[in-house]
Amino acid sequence: MRNDAKLILIDKHQVEALLKPDDVVEAVREAFALHSRGEGRVFPVVREPLVTGGVFGIKSGDVQSQGLLGFKAAGFWPSNRGLGGEPHQATILLIDPKTGRPVCVIDGNAITTMRTGAAGGLGLTLLARTDSARLCVFGTGVQAQVQVGFAMRVLEQLSCVRYITVDGERDVSFEARFAGRCEVLHATDRNAAVADSDVVVTATPGKGPLFDAHAVQPGTHLNCVGADTKGKRELPEDLLPRVRLFVDDRTQAREIGETQWAPDTPCIEIGDLITGQVRIDRHPDDITLFDMTGIALQDLTVARLLYERACETGPATSLSWPW
């Protein structure tokens, strides 16, 4: 019997200390490239409602050539807000593909947040007009904040952010987060805010269309985050036929993303742009849209990065895990 095996635990605070935006961007870029080249596999997603009112999901995959295997168990529990906690919950497990033994357990909340923000940043870099100066964001929660943060990193001419809240009220804390970095304005007319923006970001619970299709002007780019489960949507019915559609995973987008509402819409996987398998010329009047459902390889490449960093620097807990 082997009795010297160890299991590494990386908790919330350690994850947040180890995460660096630039490193996460490169890990996510690698994830999309691996997916494009067929070197990284994405297994079917589990996403099921619970009688408790929550939604439970599993995203898993592997990169056989790199010995990378694992999954993220995650979901959404809205009642957590009443407990003073975060409704999104995620835990990542890395597994040794040679033995099936667990190698590392990582708090996945911050990873999910930042890898999704990094994907949004890549979408803007690859698809948005380089002169994009005005952004409209639906939502002011954790994901909306990280999407705006990455937009500010990659859109050099960004000068104005308009935000829309679910209750129509100002969000002072959201404004304060970006104070001094960009003009941040609360918008009450959703269609007008969309029509006057170069980039639109939707980061809501996906309970229904957020604006009218006619509000989206030629040349706009949209990053859509909130549709990640069957039945969710943020976009109006008539929009997808007008756009050049990009997805992280074609099958997954058609099952749980915005693309579920128009599954026959032609689309390109974002990884194919990164690897150069597909090249596009963005015309000034093109409306581009990135349907972001989040793939397991994003979680795994970022988790591996943190695992390796924790082993090098030591900010983690090591448990005896004999077998």
**36-95 pLDDT, tens digit each:** 999 999 999 999 999 999 999 999 999 999 999 999 999 999 899 899 999 999 999 999
Q: Are residues 151 and 284 in the same domain?
A: yes
**3 pLDDT exceeds 80?**
no
Instruction: Assign residue 52 the CATH number of its domain.
Output: 3.30.1780.10
Listed residue (30, 217, 242, 253) closest to 122, CA to CA: 30
Q: Are residues 10 and 146 in the same domain?
A: no
Please report which confidence band the pLDDT of residue 4 belongs to, taking 50, 70 and 90 as the band edges: confident
How does DSSP classify residue 45? P
Pull the structure tokens for residue 277: 């398998």
Q: Are residues 180 and 215 in the same domain?
A: yes
From residue 91, how far is each of 87, 110, 227 by CA, in Å?
13, 10, 20
Q: Are residues 39 and 131 in the same domain?
A: no
- The per-residue pLDDT for 316 is 85
Q: Are residues 147 and 265 in the same domain?
A: yes
d(CA 305, CA 288): 31
Count Cβ atoms below 10 Å from residue 88 Cβ, excluding itself: 18
- Structural domain for 94, as ranges: 6-111+297-320
Please report which confidence band the pLDDT of residue 291 belongs to, taking 50, 70 and 90 as the band edges: very high
Is 144 in contact with 137 (CB distance < 8 Å)?
A: yes
Using N-to-C axis directions, what is the helix angle for 109-127 and 142-154, rounded to 10°? 40
Listed residue (308, 322, 317, 302) closest to 70, CA to CA: 302
Q: Are residues 313 and 214 in the same domain?
A: no
Instruction: Assign residue 271 the CATH number of its domain.
Output: 3.40.50.720
**SS3 at position 235:** coil
Q: Are residues 272 and 162 in the same domain?
A: yes
Q: Are residues 179 and 274 in the same domain?
A: yes
Q: Are residues 49 and 145 in the same domain?
A: no
Predicted structure pTM score: 0.95
Total number of domains constituting the chain: 2
Q: Tens digit of pLDDT for each residue in 88-141?
A: 999 999 999 999 999 999 999 999 999 999 999 999 999 999 999 999 999 999
**314 pLDDT exceeds 90?**
no
In a domain, 43, yes or no: yes
221 residue type, one letter: H
In a domain, 117, yes or no: no
Q: What is the percent of the chain with per-residue pLDDT over 70, rounded to a whole number?
A: 99
> Maximum CA pair distance of the chain?
67
Q: Which one is predicted more confidently, 2 or 119?
A: 119
